[in-house]
Structure 1
């Protein structure tokens, strides 16, 4: 890898922030209550069936405390609710409220528009290739035995 070249995780992070900043700005322009990037990420990984805070933390790659804080803010905003987990009397599932479903649908539409704008800027073939590469199965992360040349 070239010394001055940004690594792939940096580039992926910048791309994610591009979408995130544009999404949050578009939602704010519609009068939606502002959410933090962590709250937006939580909203994105929450499926229709709901999930526990521990599962959301795992999907987000953050601590339970961070996920809990994001959940708390979104519950206070009326976008999420806590309901009993039918699989465990001790657990609570986090699910979208009807207002949360409305905002989620709005966010999905905005993201589609942003993808279209990106295609206008860098070309539809590049966006399609990017999507194809990201959707391809990567397999589990490499084991610690990956050899890194010593300099």
Structure 2
């Protein structure tokens, strides 16, 4: 094995791999009628999920203010990705749900991430990729899918 590089290179390489996967998803989404979506929207769609949420809950999951969540919801609603409806758990609140167009984004993204994973397995070998995933799970224990990246990258951090 070669000599290890400077310590700052590892997180940058991890981020570059993450970005390559996300860029592949967004290239596919753009080619299939979703050119205006950005990586942050993936976190939003995951935080809304298949059951929906409220603006307050969305902001908390994303680590952003209720106002920032509301602004994002309004933009996605205008583009036809989400809709607001009475919350079945509390009639005083509005639930935010994915529309069929929003669910298409989630389905398409999942297929593209699977294709990227298969390409990586072909490139470095499935055993090495499995080991890499296991090693990353050991290095970053806890919740596998943290959705608060938008807030974490925000100006208040």
- Shorter-normalised TM range: 0.7 to 0.9
| Preserved CA contact (<8 Å) 1:39 1:71 | no
Structure-2 residue corresponding to 1:72? 74
Number of residues of Structure 1 aligned to a counterpart in Structure 2: 139
Structure-2 residue corresponding to 1:88? 90
Q: Structure 2 length normalisation: TM-score? A: 0.72
| CA distance, structure 2, for counterparts of residue 86 and residue 122 of structure 1 | 48
| CA distance, structure 2, for counterparts of residue 99 and residue 24 of structure 1 | 15
Shift of residue 81, structure 1, vs aligned partner: 0.7
Structure-2 residue corresponding to 1:50? 52
**Residue correspondence of structure 1 range 1-151 to structure 2 within 5 A:** 4-6=6-8, 10-133=12-135, 138-139=141-142
Please, which runs of 5 or more residues in structure 1 have no aligned partner? 141-151
* Closer/same/farther in 2, CA of residues 98 and 90 from structure 1, 3 Å limit: same
Please, which runs of 5 or more residues in structure 2 have no aligned partner? 144-157
Q: Provide the alpha-carbon RMSD of the alignment.
A: 2.7
Cα distance per residue 1:54-96 (max 9 Å; x no partner): 2222322333333222222211111111111122233221111
Moved over 4 A (4+): 7-12, 133-137
| CA distance, structure 1, for counterparts of residue 104 and residue 130 of structure 2 | 28
Q: Structure 1 length normalisation: TM-score? A: 0.74
